[in-house]
């Protein structure tokens, strides 16, 4: 079976990382060859990881070239809504199976998307959701997709790291600096933490984006006495999580966050906004805390609770690792996708 995974780019993002991991895992199975088509620019940050994984990589946005490429595959697996229409048009008179995974919970309703989903209704073999909330939201708007709908929770490849030691509590935020990631909420929360505890904090942001400079200015203005690191794009996950004690997620919307899964796999507790698939990963007061989106006061309280309770922090981290091992391995995820293809 030859599978072509389609992404909008190979910039650093949860869906893009997931696709690379999934393709790597699928290629471990006899008779399976998974490749990647990126509709982004040549030389984007995660392209090097694709090459290191020895995955076949294609670049094009032209429908005619996509149509020709699809002749060599049995399954085309789309992971971005912005790639979907091109793939549908390229494959419409081809017998190839089209599978579409929605990695976010927002539902498009404009006329453009109504047309796209009309084509999708006739062509899609399966529409996959990475969290049940995303499935429910989508089917409330497009109920006719119910027979094709399925939920497959994301997984990540296992990685074992030895966390470095620090006298500070190291908080990490992983994500692009775009509006829906809302990094400013973490900065506002840290400002509300007591001055004594602020001295024991180190906050690291991983990612680039259009709102990076705005958040840098906000941090310099609001929390000048806290150690703040803006790390930029870091593709080595070991480098991120060996220096992380707690992951904080501030997103306005999420599908099934790969950053949370990675933190759990590394044995880190997570404090996350109560949106999208986050509650399916973070069990409140078990492996972390949930707070309502943009409630910086509650987020500050949650951070303080872990800072003054190191035993609770360790227990949450141990539970994160256990939850990951019992339900979110990439091996299990890849098996479920192969079943969905059939």
How do residues 148-161 score in pLDDT, each as one tens digit?
A: 999 999 888 877 78
Confidence band of 104 (pLDDT split at 50, 70, 90):
confident
Average pLDDT on 21-28 reads: 96
Alpha carbon distance 219, 202 (integer Å): 12
Q: Across all residues in the chain, what is the average pLDDT?
A: 95
Confidence band of 51 (pLDDT split at 50, 70, 90):
very high
pLDDT of 176 over the 80 cut: yes
Confidence band of 203 (pLDDT split at 50, 70, 90):
very high
Helix (H, G, I), strand (E, B) or coil at 151: strand
Using alpha carbons only, give the angle 15, 186, 218 rounded to the nearest 5 degrees.
110
Both tokens of 271, joined, read 């404090």
DSSP character string of 1-56: -EEEEEES--SS-HHHHHHHHHHHHHTTSTT-EEEEEE-S-TT-TTHHHHHHTT--
DSSP character string of 78-124: E--HHHHHHHHHHHTTS--EEEEEE-S-----SHHHHHHHHHHHHHE
pLDDT at 131: 86
Phi, psi angles (nearest 5°) of residue 317: -65, -40
Q: Which residue has the tokens 């990685």?
A: 159
Contact 323, 11 (CB under 8 A): no
E strand intervals along 201-312: 201-206, 227-232, 246-249, 270-273, 288-291
Torsion of CA 289, 294, 295, 297, to 10 degrees: 100
Alpha carbon distance 340, 331 (integer Å): 15
Confidence band of 190 (pLDDT split at 50, 70, 90):
very high
Q: Which residues contact 137 (CB under 8 A, 6 or more apart)?
A: 105, 106, 107
Q: What is the pTM of this model?
A: 0.79
Question: Which strand (E) or helix (H) includes residue 98?
Answer: strand 97-102
Contact 272, 278 (CB under 8 A): yes
Average pLDDT on 29-46 reads: 95
* Angle, helix 310-327 to helix 296-307, in steps of 10 degrees: 100
Average pLDDT on 73-94 reads: 95
Contact 317, 275 (CB under 8 A): no
Confidence band of 98 (pLDDT split at 50, 70, 90):
very high
Alpha carbon distance 43, 58 (integer Å): 12
Alpha carbon distance 124, 97 (integer Å): 7
pLDDT of 13 over the 90 cut: no
Contact 257, 324 (CB under 8 A): no
Alpha carbon distance 239, 236 (integer Å): 5
Domains and CATH numbers, the chain: 2-151 (3.40.50.2000), 169-327 (3.40.50.2000)
Contact 27, 5 (CB under 8 A): no
């Amino acid at each position: 079976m030859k599978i072509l995974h389609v992404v909008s780019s190979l910039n650093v993002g949860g869906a893009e990382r997931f696709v690379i991991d999934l393709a790597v895992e699928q290629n471990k199975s006899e008779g399976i060859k998974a490749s990647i088509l990126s509709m982004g620019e040549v030389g984007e940050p995660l392209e090097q990881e694709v090459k290191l994984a020895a995955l076949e990589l294609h670049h094009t946005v032209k429908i005619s070239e996509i149509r020709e490429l699809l002749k060599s595959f049995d399954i085309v697996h789309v992971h971005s809504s912005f790639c979907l229409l091109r793939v549908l048009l390229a494959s419409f008179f081809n017998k190839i199976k089209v599978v579409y995974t929605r990695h976010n919970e927002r539902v498009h309703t404009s006329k453009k998307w109504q047309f796209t989903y009309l084509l999708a209704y006739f062509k899609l073999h399966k529409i996959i959701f990475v969290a049940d909330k995303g499935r429910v939201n989508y089917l409330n708007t497009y109920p006719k997709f119910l027979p094709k709908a399925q939920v497959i929770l994301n997984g990540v490849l296992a990685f074992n790291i030895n966390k470095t030691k620090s006298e500070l509590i190291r908080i990490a935020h992983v994500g692009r600096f775009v509006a829906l990631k809302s990094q400013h909420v973490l900065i506002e929360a840290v400002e509300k933490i007591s001055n004594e505890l602020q001295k024991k904090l180190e906050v690291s942001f991983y990612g680039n984006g259009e709102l990076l400079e705005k958040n840098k200015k906000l941090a310099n203005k609001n929390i000048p006495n806290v150690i703040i690191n803006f790390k930029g794009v870091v593709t080595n996950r070991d480098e991120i999580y060996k220096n992380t004690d707690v992951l904080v997620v501030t997103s306005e919307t999420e599908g099934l966050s790969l950053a949370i899964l990675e933190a759990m796999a590394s044995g880190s507790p997570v404090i996350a906004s109560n949106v999208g698939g986050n509650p399916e990963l973070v069990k409140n007061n078990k492996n972390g805390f949930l707070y309502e989106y943009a409630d910086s006061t509650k987020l500050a309280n949650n951070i303080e609770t872990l800072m003054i309770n190191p035993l609770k922090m360790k227990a949450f981290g141990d539970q994160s690792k256990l939850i990951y091992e019992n339900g979110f391995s990439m091996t299990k995820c890849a098996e479920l996708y192969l079943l969905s293809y059939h």
